[in-house]
Structure 1
Amino acid sequence: MDRAGVGRVCLALPATTLDHPFGEHHDAYRVGGKIFAMVGESGGISFKVSDIAYEVLTETGHARPAPYMARNKWVNLPRIDDWADDELSEHLAIAHGIVAAKLTKKARAALGL
């Protein structure tokens, strides 16, 4: 998968928006105003995972703790194509779901989630 592929996957998820809060070369995908995945300028990707997935992915070396966001259980892949497309797509959908679930009931209802 490449940067455009990540965009297609993320923007296909319900109520997802794209913005560039850290400059035009950083894509931040949000649900309800909260970031669930971000592609950096150098082509790496970071995204939210569950507590268990964080432990498994980082301990096995499948991903590394995301800079500045590891305490919030985010992982980082230095290159988007480090994982198979279907595996990355599934993790992005899960990241979206984790972040969406933390929104208020009112916010979820307003977004149709």
Structure 2
Amino acid sequence: MSVDDIERFCLQLPGARKRVQWGGVHVFSLGERKMFATLHLSGDGALAFKVDDDRFLGFCDRPGFRPAPYLARARWVSVNDPGIVGTAELQELLTRSHQLVVARLPKRQRVGLLL
């Protein structure tokens, strides 16, 4: 998936918003605070997202993946080249990240965001 494809996909998820911060990092979140993916357009070009707790170590052992800087304690992984992941799998991973974040929202805020 290209950068534009990733952005389009993330923004079509329910309640998703994009903002640019930290010197050019595209942050995809629910509302203003609950991030579910980040895309670094400058520097290493990495895509980072949240994964299930029980799958975190498996992703860290996978070639091209690593624990996401500053976010690994929250079970986020980073992939330097999103092109190494197939489109269908990457869409599934981003959707799952979105849903993991939605699940942690207060019940009244989840309405309309669950897939």
State TM-score, norm by structure 1: 0.89
Deviation at 1:83, TM superposition (A): 0.8
Q: Which one of 67, 72, 76 corresponds to residue 74 of structure 2? A: 72
Deviation at 1:59, TM superposition (A): 2.6
Q: How many residues are treated as equivalent by the alignment?
A: 110
Identity %: 34
- Provide the aligned C-alpha RMSD in A: 1.4
Q: What are structure 2's unaligned runs of at least 5 residues?
A: none
State TM-score, norm by structure 2: 0.88
Paired with 1:6 and 1:81, the residues of 2 have a C-alpha distance of 11
Q: Which one of 76, 79, 96 corresponds to residue 94 of structure 1? A: 96
Q: What are structure 1's unaligned runs of at least 5 residues?
A: none
Deviation at 1:62, TM superposition (A): 5.2
Once the two structures are superposed, residues 12-71 of structure 1 have per-residue CA deviations (whole angstroms, 9 ceiling, x without a partner) of 111100001213x21100013311000012321000001112121113445211111111
Q: Secondary structure at the match of 1:20?
A: strand
Which consecutive segments of 4 or more residues in structure 1 shift more than 2 A?
A: 59-62
Matched, 1:16 2:16: yes
- Matched with 1:55 is 57
Contact 2:9 2:91 in 1 (8 A): yes
Paired with 2:88 and 2:61, the residues of 1 have a C-alpha distance of 22
Matched, 1:34 2:34: yes
Q: Which one of 61, 85, 92 corresponds to residue 83 of structure 1? A: 85
